[in-house]
Structure 1
Amino acid sequence: MRKLTYYVAASLDGCIAGPDGSYDFLPFEGEVREAILAEYPETMPVHVRGPLGLTATSPRHFDTVIMGRGTYEPALSAGITSPYAHLEQYVVSRTLHATDPAVEIIADDPAALVRELKQQDGLGIWLAGGGKLAAALRTEIDELIIKRNPVVVGSGIPLFDGPFAPTGFLPVARRDFDSGVSIVTYTRK
């Protein structure tokens, strides 16, 4: 059975973006960049794949991405309607209308979608964000991969933006970098 992995960068205080949706305080450079490109090449959007040398790479972990409107919006603002054309793409939004035939808009019950996708053949399902969608899918998340950056931002979009509902995960892998970034993998308890 396929699993849902919430793979995301975050600050030390648990923010995946600033209050305005910015994420430039989460750098993508040096040894961390090289490690991510080697291990998770499919998580790079189409407009940067060529410049990063990823033109012919096959997905290693994920063949499907699900994201909230806030995660999809920066691509739309740049005129990119299919940011992960190399993956099956779903955007959860009650207000967004179809923008590209390669992107399926889901208005209701993202958990039902994830349960359906888990039953299909294929690689893993990548939950790309955001915090509200992660909170809505908390019971469906099988794995967390958090790229923890050594910065405190004070406020912003949290990893999980929803009601209080303690959910246990166990750390199963950790990779630390000289830059202070840690990539920690957790599985559901």
Structure 2
Amino acid sequence: MRELVYYVAVSLDGCIAGPYGEFDAFLVEGDHMSAQNERFADAVPTDLAAALGIDQSGGGFDTVLMGWNTYAVGLPMGATSPYRHLRQIVFTRSHLDDDLGERPNLEVTDEDPVEVVRRLKAEPGRAVWLCGGGQLATQLVDEIDRLVLKRQPLLFGAGIPLFAPGAYEPRAFAEVATTAYESGVVVSEYVRR
């Protein structure tokens, strides 16, 4: 069965973005980048990977899930299909009829994310990457099999939390790997117990 992997950068105070969705404070240079770009090459936007010469042919993901706000970050720059090397599913209830122009391998849906993930897990294929955001992660908390957290050495003070506050019971995960980099970024990986 395919895994749902929540692979995301997070601040020390638990935010995946600032209060207005900004994420430009996250470190994108340093010794952590080459290791992450090698292991998670398919989590780099298609055009950026091509510009950097990153081979995305053998990655661990074949599908990426994101909420509308995560997806919309690239729209002002014309990125209507940011990960077109993957099947992209964007969840929204209010932007179904937006004219986004050409968007290869991208589906916008108002389906229940849990039902979509359960259907994806039953299909053959590689892992499914949960890109963000916190509201979607909270909806999918019981479907997440693996967490890969890129803890950044910064505090946002306020922002979008890794998981939105919600009425869910505690979940247990087991740490399987942690790597600290000179940049100050610490990548920790956990699997559901």
TM-score, scaled relative to structure 2: 0.93
RMSD of aligned residue pairs (Cα, Å): 1.2
Pairwise CA distance, 1:162: 3.5
Q: Retained in 2: the 8 A contact 1:175–1:182?
A: yes
Q: Which residue of 2 aligns with 1:144?
A: 147
Pairwise CA distance, 1:101: 5.0
Q: Which runs of at least 4 in structure 1 moved beyond 4 Å after TM superposition?
A: none
| Counterpart among 179, 188, 192 of residue 188 in structure 1 | 192
Pairwise CA distance, 1:25: 1.2
**Cα shift readout 1:17-70 (whole Å, capped 9, x = no counterpart):** 00010001111112111111111100011221122112x431421010000001
Q: Retained in 1: the 8 A contact 2:86–2:105?
A: no
90-99 or 116-125, larger mean C-alpha shift: 90-99
Q: Retained in 1: the 8 A contact 2:11–2:154?
A: yes
Q: Which residue of 1 aligns with 2:128?
A: 125
Unaligned runs of 5+ in 2: none
**Cα shift readout 1:157-184 (whole Å, capped 9, x = no counterpart):** 0000131422111111111101211100
Question: What SS does structure 1 have at the residue aligned with 2:51?
Answer: coil
Residues 73-152 of structure 1: pairs in structure 2 closer than 5 A: 73-97=72-96, 99=100, 100=103, 102-152=105-155
Are 1:179 and 2:183 matched, yes or no? yes
- Partner Cα distance (1:177, 1:66) in 2: 28
Identity %: 44
**Cα shift readout 1:126-181 (whole Å, capped 9, x = no counterpart):** 00000000000000000000000111111100000131422111111111101211
Question: What SS does structure 1 have at the residue aligned with 2:145?
Answer: strand
- Partner Cα distance (1:116, 1:59) in 2: 23
- Partner Cα distance (2:38, 2:109) in 1: 31
Q: Which residue of 2 aligns with 1:53?
A: 53
Q: Which residue of 1 aligns with 2:70?
A: 71
Q: Which residue of 2 aligns with 1:30?
A: 30
Q: Retained in 2: the 8 A contact 1:64–1:87?
A: yes
TM-score, scaled relative to structure 1: 0.95
Question: What SS does structure 2 have at the residue aligned with 1:34?
Answer: helix
Aligned length: 188
| Counterpart among 156, 163, 166 of residue 166 in structure 2 | 163
Unaligned runs of 5+ in 1: none
Pairwise CA distance, 1:2: 0.2
Q: Retained in 2: the 8 A contact 1:136–1:162?
A: no
